Amino acid sequence: MANPLRAATVWPSVAVLEAATGPATNGAYAVPEDRPILFEWVLGDSTALSSTSLGHTGGSNGRWLARGSAEGIIYDLGTALTDADQTLSYSLGGRWRRQIVALTANRIKRLAASGAVAGNVLLLTREETSAFTLTVKDDVAGTTLWTCAAGIQWVGEAIFDGTNWVKRWCAPQEFIP
């Protein structure tokens, strides 16, 4: 799969995603909170519905298909991020980290190499809109992967290349209630 050209929309559930109208074009991505897998909209697809193929109500004909592997890229939800600078390690059970606590100052989240192997991915979402920035850095090289502007919700994904974390994609994003 090529890297997404835009951020995935975070949906509260598969049911809400399937109840929505299907997009009119290819290139939409979704991550339902109750099945945290990356899905891509494929216009005109008629794959049988399953755990890796989701339907929709109305709109264009197509399917939401899991991407990344037979099971999709699984973003198992880890503990929420805090209002502090943090160093995050890769772990099963924590591949999706959410900033839902309001920031009271500019903060840095560093992605550590410990526990990570080449190809591992981390999804980070900023769901609060405080007046402070949130910067994501590779802890090994110290490079900035992205900075979430103050007052804006963001979603981004980093991939581990065997030595460092690198930005796969990130963008400002609206979270569906």
In this prediction, residue 44 carries a pLDDT of: 82
> Are residue 46 and residue 122 in the same domain, yes or no?
no
Average pLDDT over the chain, rounded to whole?
A: 83
> Are residue 90 and residue 59 in the same domain, yes or no?
no
Can you give 81-138 as a three-state secondary structure string? CCCCCEEECCCCCCCEEEECCCCCCCEEEEECCCCCCCCCEEEEEECCCCCCCEEEEE
Q: What's the CA gap between 174 and 7, in Å, rounded?
A: 10
Reading the block at residue 133, the tokens are 């920035």
1 domain residue, yes or no: no
51 domain residue, yes or no: yes
91 domain residue, yes or no: yes
> Are residue 93 and residue 148 in the same domain, yes or no?
yes
pLDDT single digits (tens) 164-175:
999 988 888 766
- Residue ending a domain, among 66, 94, 115, is 66
Nearest to 17 by CA among 53, 48, 45, 43: 53
Q: Which 3 state secondary structure label does DSSP give 18?
A: helix
Quote the domain boundaries for residue 115: 86-172
In this prediction, residue 175 carries a pLDDT of: 62
Q: Mean per-residue pLDDT for 124-128?
A: 90
pLDDT single digits (tens) 25-79:
887 888 888 877 788 888 887 777 766 778 887 777 888 888 765 455 667 777 8
**23-30: long-range pairs with CB below 8 Å, 24+:** 23/59, 23/60, 23/62, 24/59, 24/60, 25/60, 29/4, 29/67, 30/64
Which one is predicted more confidently, 83 or 41?
Answer: 83
User: What distance lies between CA 108 and its chain's CA centroid?
Assistant: 18
